Amino acid sequence: MDLLRFATAGSVDDGKSTLIGRLLYDSKSIFSDQLEGVERASRDMGSEYTELSLLTDGLRAEREQGITIDVAYRYFATPVRKFIIADTPGHIQYTRNMVTGASTADLAIVLVDARKGLVEQSRRHAFLVSLLQVPHLVLAINKMDLVGYSQQVFEEIRRDFTEFAAKLRIADLTVIPVSALHGDNVVDRSASMPWYEGASLLNHLENVYIASDRNLVDGRFPVQHVIRPHSHAHHDYRGYAGRIAGGVMRTGDEVIVLPSGLPSRISAIETADGPLDEAFAPMSVTVRLEDDIDISRGDMICRPHNQPKVSQDIEAMVAWMGETPLRAGQKLTIKHTTRTTRAFVKSMHYELDVNTLHRNESSVELGLNAIGRVSLRTTTPLLTDEYRRNRETGGFVLIDEHTHNTVGAGMIV
Amino acid sequence: MNDLPETPRRILSQLEVLESEAIYIIREVVAEIERPAMMFSGGKDSIVMLHLARKAFAPARVPFPILHVDTGHNFPEVLAFRDKVVEQLELNLVVGSVQDAIDRGVVREEPNGSRNRIQTPVLLETAEKYGFNALLGGARRDEEKARAKERVFSFRDEFGQWDPKKQRPELWNLFNAKVHLGESIRVFPLSNWTELDIWEYIAAEGIEVPSIYYAHEREVFERNGMLFAANDLCRPTAGEETKVESVRYRTVGDATLTAAVRSQANTVQLVLEEVASTRITERGATRGDDRVSEAAMEDRKKEGYF
């Protein structure tokens, strides 16, 4: 059984919580004591319905104010696949939350209300999905029951969205008409929409092909930790522990260590369960080399003829999450793969309007939840790939040097 | 490019992905944090976490101490199991004793006799005494709705408190482990595991867990719809009838508050089947401590509970 991580975007009004509730409920993933708790809390709130949103809104303030504060993670499984849902709230801190949820997602579901069609928020969500390079996007056109299950309405929204999506980099788009409330096309195909010939949402989630989404071409092994046992049995042992960030590594491979540029050969790929002939992303292994060279955390082992860029100058799209704005001249801590160093903001090129995709070049700062193009200069070189080529070696976070808060997410261009 | 003509299927199973992720998280803690420790209760989640820690650093030993907050309300099988594991893996064990803290007047016994809440100050005191600024814990997000919103690297202030509104965004696999002096981080490598994943992994890896997780005969009585073991720590009151039943434990906590479930599952395969078909969460079925209110777990976390 494999694993699919997906993010959901949309507001409560779009029926997102109902949709998730429906997926969990119809796949028998809600436990009876959870459901009783939600029913009890719904009654206490004076609601006439069982508020399925309470399944995900777990914090006291969320219950009291009827809002969702933070990304909530939910788990369910069918006989085919295990799923991790990152449920991201639509209103408050939408960029921060959605960027967080989408960063590890294989697939994103964007919900629209069939009565309203595409709204500003739908475009914004679709843009963030493409910015974070989530490989698969599902546009779920919800509340089809309220438009008489009309094929015409569905086709119009689909056309509008496809037109907009052409401006974005979306690799795989699937559009599904659903009614979360009644369960049409959520788990089972709907009898009310015979004109729709595609898969139900769950069926699509179970079968969408994700094995080719990972980069298995560019061998990238960021060294996370050096293992030296200091014991009699393993006197001269030296192993480089880490998780493969791209490609396939094989015992006997010629490699080069960056940034030093020293060549060597893989003598063994080890795990606690024994040695391996080959390992691939995202496996956690320990790599040993034939030569005794000086390697530490933050270095990268790769192939001599396929190397990442080694540079102190970083061009990136940055999603800003700090309370105080990002400006040129600022100094920050940057964490990229297993390397942490300092970065200086050289210049800000433009701020992107996430609703219109307009580039505002006169903007001089990025406020909370803003996205823009930035040039950074780092104190030590980073070993990077373009984010669109590899999310692991193309993404970084920015950390405030004083508060130590995570204040930005960067995608290298 | 260099791929052979017939490319092998390079897909990891969900357990392999979860294992790789947990090993990565544990290694990240050791690489970034000066004095980490791993919390160990002798429960199945902490046993799996310790198993992953051993795998993460093999052939070297686990490079941090193991911290057990001893409530004094233990299942004897679990304590014996703890001592055996410590010896086998040559671990450095640190114990924070709730009984000792009560004797010293640091905490006071609660009226209901449970030591769940008062173990928090003991945990914080022990961490401070040894200077631990990161604690690895076996909590999972599927356990409880406050945990569903907690980060893998969960920042705590100088009082060990969690503020759900001030969580750091967590992107990709880039974990921010930076803290000021006095602040700390709780790290949950099993965040994305479910109860079923834990049991599938125990079965796949052949991991030993304390015998109370498997069905056995025990003298029990019913209280608040839950089955409690009748023993020195937990005595039935008038009207509570004891009888011998075949039970097992789904969770291991304060022995006065942790209930058993009726079960015939005496092997790992049978437990797996039982967990896969159950309709009640493990905390709902067996934990008196989470029944106090809708936000019982959130409130305890805000006080510094793991």
* pLDDT, tens only, A277-286: 999 999 999 9
Residue A51: the pLDDT is: 67
Q: Are residues A290 and A182 in the same domain?
A: no
Q: Are residues A275 and A337 in the same domain?
A: no
- Best of A4, A33, A276 to substitute, by most chain B Cβ atoms within 10 angstroms, is A33
Per-residue buried b or exposed e for A151-162, using 16+ beta carbons within 10 Å of the residue's own CB: eebbeebbeebe
Q: Is the peptide bond before A282 cis (omega within 30 degrees of 0)?
A: yes
Inter-chain residue contact A71 with B149, CB threshold 8 Å: yes
B292 pLDDT tier (thresholds 50, 70, 90):
very low
Inter-chain residue contact A73 with B149, CB threshold 8 Å: yes
Domain boundary among A207, A236, A262: A207
Count of Cβ atoms closer than 10 Å to residue B296 Cβ: 18
Q: Are residues A178 and A233 in the same domain?
A: no
Residue type present at position B278: T
A201 pLDDT tier (thresholds 50, 70, 90):
very high
Inter-chain residue contact A56 with B54, CB threshold 8 Å: no
Query: How many CB contacts within 8 angstroms connect chain A with chain B?
Result: 191
pTM for the full model?
0.92
Q: For the domain that residue A142 is a member of, what is the CATH number? A: 3.40.50.300
Q: Which of A41-45, A82-86, A116-120, A166-170 has the lowest mean pLDDT?
A: A41-45
Q: Are residues A246 and A351 in the same domain?
A: no
Which residues of A fall within a CB distance of 8 Å from B28? 224, 338
Q: Are residues A239 and A374 in the same domain?
A: no
A65 touches chain B (CB under 8 A): no
Question: Are B266 and B215 spatial neighbours (Cβ–Cβ below 8 Å)?
Answer: yes
How far apart CA B198 and CA A111 sit, in angstroms, is 33
For A171, phi then psi, to 5°, come to: -75, -40
B203 touches chain A (CB under 8 A): no
- Best of B174, B192, B292, B297 to substitute, by most chain A Cβ atoms within 10 angstroms, is B174
Does residue A212 lie within any of the structural domains? Answer: no
Inter-chain residue contact A211 with B11, CB threshold 8 Å: yes
Domain boundary among A207, A242, A268: A207
Selected residue with higher pLDDT from B21 and A93? B21
Q: Are residues A188 and A135 in the same domain?
A: yes
Helix (H, G, I), strand (E, B) or coil at A191: coil
A242 touches chain B (CB under 8 A): yes
As a whole number, mean pLDDT of residues A236-258 equals 96
Q: Are residues A345 and A295 in the same domain?
A: no
A50: its two tokens: 């069982």
B4 touches chain A (CB under 8 A): no
Considering only alpha carbons, which residue of chain B is nearest residue A55? B145
Which residues of B fall within a CB distance of 8 Å from A335? 174, 176
Count of Cβ atoms closer than 10 Å to residue B305 Cβ: 22
Inter-chain residue contact A32 with B279, CB threshold 8 Å: yes
Whether residue B32 is predicted with pLDDT greater than 50 in this model: the reply is yes
Residue B301: the pLDDT is: 67
How far apart CA B148 and CA B191 sit, in angstroms, is 8
Whether residue B204 is predicted with pLDDT greater than 90 in this model: the reply is yes
pLDDT digits (tens, 9 = 90+) for B57-99: 999 999 999 999 988 888 888 899 999 999 999 999 999 888 8
Considering only alpha carbons, which residue of chain A is nearest residue B22? A284
A281 DSSP assignment: T
How far apart CA B185 and CA B175 sit, in angstroms, is 11
How far apart CA A122 and CA A10 sit, in angstroms, is 7
Helix (H, G, I), strand (E, B) or coil at A345: strand
Inter-chain residue contact A77 with B1, CB threshold 8 Å: no
Q: In chain A, what percentage of residues exceed pLDDT 70? A: 93
pLDDT digits (tens, 9 = 90+) for B152-178: 999 888 787 888 778 889 999 999 999
Domain boundary among A184, A207, A230: A207
Q: Are residues A323 and A402 in the same domain?
A: yes
Q: In chain B, what percentage of residues exceed pLDDT 70? A: 90
Residue A300: the pLDDT is: 98
Q: For the domain that residue A228 is a member of, what is the CATH number? A: 2.40.30.10
Token pair 């086709």 is at which residue? A155
Selected residue with higher pLDDT from A376 and B115? A376
Nearest to B16 by CA among A149, A82, A56: A82
Nearest to A413 by CA among A366, A352, A367, A353: A352
How far apart CA A45 and CA B166 sit, in angstroms, is 26
Q: Are residues A264 and A142 in the same domain?
A: no
Number of C-alpha atoms within 13 angstroms, CB side, residue B168?
28
A212 touches chain B (CB under 8 A): no
- What are the residue boundaries of the structural domains of chain B, listed by start? 14-196+296-302, 210-290
Question: Are B21 and B192 spatial neighbours (Cβ–Cβ below 8 Å)?
Answer: yes
Q: Are residues A156 and A118 in the same domain?
A: yes
CA distance A349 to chain B (A): 24
Quote the domain boundaries for residue A12: 2-207
B89: its two tokens: 């893996």
Q: In chain A, how many domains are there? A: 3
B99 touches chain A (CB under 8 A): no
Which residues of B fall within a CB distance of 8 Å from A283? 12, 16, 20
pLDDT digits (tens, 9 = 90+) for A316-332: 999 999 999 999 999 99
Does residue A215 lie within any of the structural domains? Answer: no
Q: Are residues A193 and A235 in the same domain?
A: no
pLDDT digits (tens, 9 = 90+) for A9-24: 876 677 787 788 888 8
A364 touches chain B (CB under 8 A): no
Helix (H, G, I), strand (E, B) or coil at A103: helix
Q: What share of chain B is helix, strand, coil (3-state, %, to 5)?
A: 35, 15, 45
Angle at A81 between CA A56 and CA A8, to 5 degrees: 35
CA distance A33 to chain B (A): 6
Q: For B14-196+296-302, CATH number?
A: 3.40.50.620
Whether residue A390 is predicted with pLDDT greater than 90 in this model: the reply is yes
Token pair 């052979």 is at which residue? B4
Helix (H, G, I), strand (E, B) or coil at A239: strand
Q: Are residues A298 and A317 in the same domain?
A: no
Whether residue A391 is predicted with pLDDT greater than 50 in this model: the reply is yes
Q: What is the mean pLDDT of chain A?
A: 90
Nearest by CB: B148 against A74, A99, A248: A74
For B202, phi then psi, to 5°, come to: -55, -40
A410 DSSP assignment: E
ipTM of the complex: 0.93
Nearest by CB: B20 against A33, A234, A282: A282
Whether residue B3 is predicted with pLDDT greater than 70 in this model: the reply is no
**Residue B252 vs residues B78, B91, B141, B213, B228: alpha-carbon distances, Å:** 8, 21, 17, 9, 12
Does residue A152 lie within any of the structural domains? Answer: yes
How far apart CA A107 and CA B222 sit, in angstroms, is 46
Residue type present at position A128: L
